[in-house]
Structure 1
Amino acid sequence: TTLPGMRNEGNSEAEAEAVGCQEQRPSGENASSEEEGEAEDENCQTPWKKSQKLADGLMRFSIDLMKEVQLESNRTNVIVSPLSIAIALSQLALGAANRTEKRLLEVMHLESAPCLHHTFGTLRRRLTESTLSLASRLYLQKGFEVKEKFLEDSEKFYGAKPTALSGISEDDLVAINEWVKEATRGQIPTFLQQLPASTVMLLLNAIHFHGFWRTKFDVNFTGPDVFHLDNEFVVPVEMMKAQKYPLSWFTLEPQDIQVAKFPFKTNSSFVVIVPNQPTWKISRVLENVPYKQLCRLFPREVPTAVKIPRIKLGYQLELNKVLSRMGLGELFTSPDLHKITDEPLFVSSVQHQSALELKEDGVEASAATSIAISRSVSAFSLDRPFIFIIFDDETGIPLFIGCVQNPNPSAAPQQKEPRDSSEVTDANEYPMPK
């Protein structure tokens, strides 16, 4: 996907030290110049200098993945972790050779990323020390003899040796679910309902993230509001509100898209992409956001009247069809995995589950301030469908990507009321931050 380099004419030049971008241009050097011609892992002990290619590749993989998942999903809200899926596929690539290895790396857009397994290993260890729970594992049919090099590298870089299934379906199911529950600190208690028939190899990954806002929302200001599904219908939601929230945001004028960044405490950010037109297609929006320029585009934070719905998302999907459409169909038929075992081996199933919860995260003592929104204050209302990406700030790597088209799908949509003249729901009607 070619992303055009766009700049918002309405904003002043963004600060070089903008939150979340401070590590993406290490020590003023061009990371790619140092990478040219590197073929081996000689300098892999300092992989952060090489993380930009990883971040760029994973962002492109995220867009491809989201497009395909949307085709597969009949639900309004989606959340997947491109990082978690890429780590699982990269672990599989350790055991792949020839065309299979080449296709795996190409689909992830990581064929030119140096020190790939070292970098993933360092990244995985660092992220799991914070609020991210992440786990991936290969389960193999009983009786397969796995090569020692693959066992060693899987544990060294990805923290897990391949595990043999017992052959007793009920026991294997309990063991898998217990492992996932433990690996995600209890956040994903039941990962699989049943094992795929005639399982030869099962590729599992699970991830959970609980973001603690750098600036908390006061729970006393959370209350009933509406979310605009389109120009005709709304659903009731619990909306978190703040009158002077420090927010960095801008509008991409040609695309009529608003972008905002809500920082978490742990070197990560919740970036929201909000099309102003209700008849938007996710694929088109994703293709028109200049991800490489985001750091430069985000201006200084300004006190902003903010509305954002409380969100709790869970999503599970078998990725076989999605990955096949992305070019990895041979994984499920006749891949070259002879670095794992000399016996014929193929992937039976790729399962993915993500969970995400965003809420006020604490109550801060504060004076009783009116939450009425003033027209003189910059305002950003997340009260209509949006795409979100959770980035790791140090590297720019996408941890999650998803979309929320209806944060309350169990509620019956209601016809919009004629808009009260004192109530403003369109963030465009507020002045832009200067």
Structure 2
Amino acid sequence: MMTPFNSNGLLLLAGLCCLLPRTKTDYHEGVYNDSNIDKFQCRKVALTISNVSISLYKEMAQESRNGNILFSPLRVIAALSMLSMGDQSNASQHILEALKLNKTGLPSAEIHKCFQYLLWPILHPPQSSLLRSGSSMFINQDINLLDEFLEGAKKLYLSDVIPISFTDSRKAKAQINNYIMKKTNREILDIIKSLQSDTSLVLVNYIIWNAKIISNFNCKFVKMEDFHLGHRNSIKIPMVNSVDVYHLFRVNDLFSMVLIYSHSQSILIYFIVPDKGRMRAAEQRLTYPHFRRMVQKLSLRMVKVHMPELSLSETHNLESVMNLLGINYVLSNDHISSVIMDDKVENPSKVISKVVLTFDDKGAIPSSTSCLESSTWANVPLFQLNRPFLIFIQDSDNYAPLFLGRVVHPRN
């Protein structure tokens, strides 16, 4: 007889409940009680971010056809949207148009409020959460920020604002790196590699997720297995073999099998594994409506899964990221100066986004390698993440896209 499953933790990645483990009380704290925020309208903003993120991903995929890609759409778009606050020129509207946020039909003030709503859960998780995220803006101490921008950066985008002297670029770089190192408990080191002495602003966004792989059926073990990199190349990596309850189905027009992990606290994690040799075709066809249609296919079933231990870290300079979308003027000095500063400044600005994502088996109690050979699991389908795959992580309460990427090498 099959062991009954527990509704509080159904899935292989139940350890990911720590991603955003909100109780009902926690969830409605603070901004979630703000009657001035229209949650339905804010979902339009989240859906727009998701659509833009797919376009951005496709551009990244063209630039890096055979490498890992990983970024946080919510963090990237929020950083750029924050720079649109201010009324001294048309720069604000230009930025919102570049990010397609004008298509929501909302006034800019409401869009900024929606970012407060969308960012709140990841910037105020419980102390026990394995997710950490933050935004820190280092501004030249001789520059006067517009009051509206300063208030909005702190209140709406929940960003630290730190005056700093850039005269000694080496000292400024060390100060920024030490600040981020302390904020992230040493998980992000040396995020700034170089800095000019005439820099006027440095904006750093980061999101870190350390997840534990577990099995709710006490059937899990780690085995060294092949991960196929392509072109007949493979590497041996630790692969967690386990069994649990998932949503598993095929999406024919993406040539892919899809495994979805869902959680009662509104997190959806999509693992999309294209058929051999069809990754590029799947990427070209991928649209955000695919994810919306996938949700309609949700149907829990027992699945045996081989999940690689992942250790991924990506850093993006947002100027180069936005250049991929053909909107390089957004981060021009003229635009930034007119939007956030009292006086026009010709000095350069830097906007950095850092993503760290790990899945591992550390700290978990292993079970026997024979557990999957039990007759209990004889007819359970097998899903193997043993070749390049796509990953998408979403807060399904507000549709905010937290992570999007492609895993080609699980240990880079």
2:120 paired with 1:125:
yes
Name the structure 2 match of 1:50.
41
C-alpha deviation, 1:237, in angstroms:
1.4
C-alpha distance 148-288 of structure 1, shift in aligned 2 (>3 A) = closer
Name the structure 2 match of 1:302.
301
C-alpha distance 328-288 of structure 1, shift in aligned 2 (>3 A) = closer
Q: After superposition, give the CA deviation of every residue in 1:276-298 in whole Å (9 maximum; x if it has no partner).
A: 13242164143386122222122
C-alpha deviation, 1:271, in angstroms:
1.0
C-alpha deviation, 1:222, in angstroms:
0.8
Q: Distance in 2 between matches of 1:96 and 1:361?
A: 50
C-alpha distance 368-313 of structure 1, shift in aligned 2 (>3 A) = closer
Q: Distance in 1 between matches of 2:179 and 2:284?
A: 38
C-alpha deviation, 1:269, in angstroms:
2.9
Q: Distance in 1 between matches of 2:278 and 2:186?
A: 39
Unaligned runs of 5+ in 2: 1-9, 12-33
Written as runs of structure 1 = structure 2, the 5 A alignment for 1:77-226 is 77-95=68-86, 98-113=89-104, 114=106, 115-130=110-125, 131=129, 132-160=131-159, 162-166=161-165, 167-196=167-196, 198-212=198-212, 215=215, 221-226=221-226
Q: Distance in 1 between matches of 2:336 and 2:71?
A: 27
Q: Distance in 2 between matches of 1:74 and 1:275?
A: 15
Written as runs of structure 1 = structure 2, the 5 A alignment for 1:6-405 is 45-73=36-64, 76-95=67-86, 98-113=89-104, 114=106, 115-130=110-125, 131=129, 132-160=131-159, 162-166=161-165, 167-196=167-196, 198-212=198-212, 215=215, 221-230=221-230, 232-242=232-242, 244-263=243-262, 267-281=266-280, 283-287=283-287, 290-298=290-298, 300-330=299-329, 331-335=331-335, 337-345=337-345, 348-360=349-361, 362-364=363-365, 369-372=370-373, 376-405=379-408
Amino acid at match of 1:363: A
Q: Distance in 1 between matches of 2:219 and 2:188?
A: 26
Preserved CA contact (<8 Å) 1:99 1:336 = no
Amino acid at match of 1:78: I
C-alpha deviation, 1:217, in angstroms:
8.7
Q: Distance in 2 between matches of 1:384 and 1:160?
A: 38
C-alpha distance 137-77 of structure 1, shift in aligned 2 (>3 A) = same
Amino acid at match of 2:276: Q
After TM superposition, the score normalised by the length of structure 2 is: 0.79
Preserved CA contact (<8 Å) 2:219 2:367 = no
Number of aligned positions between the proteins: 367
C-alpha distance 349-262 of structure 1, shift in aligned 2 (>3 A) = same
Q: Identity rate of aligned residues, in percent?
A: 22
Q: Distance in 2 between matches of 1:66 and 1:385?
A: 15
Of residues 277-286 and 349-358 in structure 1, the stretch that sits farther from structure 2 once superposed is: 277-286
C-alpha distance 181-224 of structure 1, shift in aligned 2 (>3 A) = same
Amino acid at match of 1:350: V
C-alpha deviation, 1:376, in angstroms:
2.4
More helix by share: 2
C-alpha deviation, 1:184, in angstroms:
2.7
SS in structure 2 at match of 1:342: coil
After TM superposition, the score normalised by the length of structure 1 is: 0.75
